[in-house]
Amino acid sequence: MCQELIAQYRAIASEVCEKDWIASIHAANPDRLATVASPVTEIPLSLTEVLPPLPPIDRTAAGSLVPTGSSYLNALAAEEKELQALEAQELALLGRMSNSLERLTQNQSQWNRTNDLRRQRLLRQTRLEAATLATELEAEFDETLRESQYNIRSGNIAAPGKPQAPLQSQPA
């Protein structure tokens, strides 16, 4: 009878609200309502008495969205546990990423310091080479100046404004 009534309700559910349908069933079956209304002591039922245990389903193998476990409560606990495991993995990954970022930041600062030292070294090396070249040029200039003064004094080269003395020829 229950299945028949449910089928009838489904057929007219879009036209009649739930309360009106229940009232019509009570009005159509007053003799059955009296036996239901008699005082009955309630017997507490457990979840396994109401719902039979569900066999475990491997969602990854079956590709199904049906919860695993022997009941929906167990499925909820399993989902929460899986979520906590994923959160723990995410936190571990974030920790590794943070450590990597710190190492990269340290490496970048070391690289920048190395480049600064390299530039300073190249600048000092260039200054040293310039000073060495200037010292060598000064020494060469002094040597050339002494040679020129000697040649002027010895008469090999005429001073400006004086005629050059003829070079002495050597006897044959």
Query: Per-residue pLDDT for the chain (172 aa), expressed as one digit of tens each?
Result: 788 888 888 888 788 888 888 888 888 888 876 655 555 566 666 655 555 566 665 555 445 555 544 567 777 888 899 999 999 999 999 999 999 999 999 999 999 999 999 999 999 999 999 999 999 999 999 999 999 888 888 887 765 666 555 555 555 4
What whole-number distance in Å separates Cα of residue 141 and Cα of residue 70? 103
- Digit-coded pLDDT (tens) for 38-79: 555 666 666 555 555 666 655 554 455 555 445 677 778 888
* 51 neighbors 43 (Cβ within 8 angstroms): no
86 part of a folded domain = no
Dig out the tokens for 59 from the structure.
Answer: 């969602």
Q: From its phi and psi, is residue 164 left (phi > 0), alpha (psi between -120 and 50) or beta? A: beta
d(C-alpha 113, C-alpha 77), whole Å: 54
Can you give the pLDDT at residue 140?
Answer: 93
In a domain, residue 23? The reply is yes
Q: Does 5 map to a domain?
A: yes
Domain coverage including residue 25: 1-36
Q: Residue 27's pLDDT is what? A: 86
Structural domains counted in the chain: 1
Asked, for residue 4, whether it belongs to a domain, the answer is yes
- Kindly state whether residue 111 falls inside one of the protein's structural domains: no
Instruction: Answer yes or no: is 145 within a domain.
Output: no
The pLDDT value given to residue 158: 60
Q: What distance separates the 2 farthest-apart alpha carbons in the chain?
A: 167
Residue 1 included in any domain: yes
Q: What SS3 state is found at 15? A: coil
**Cβ distance 40 to 14 under 8 Å?**
no
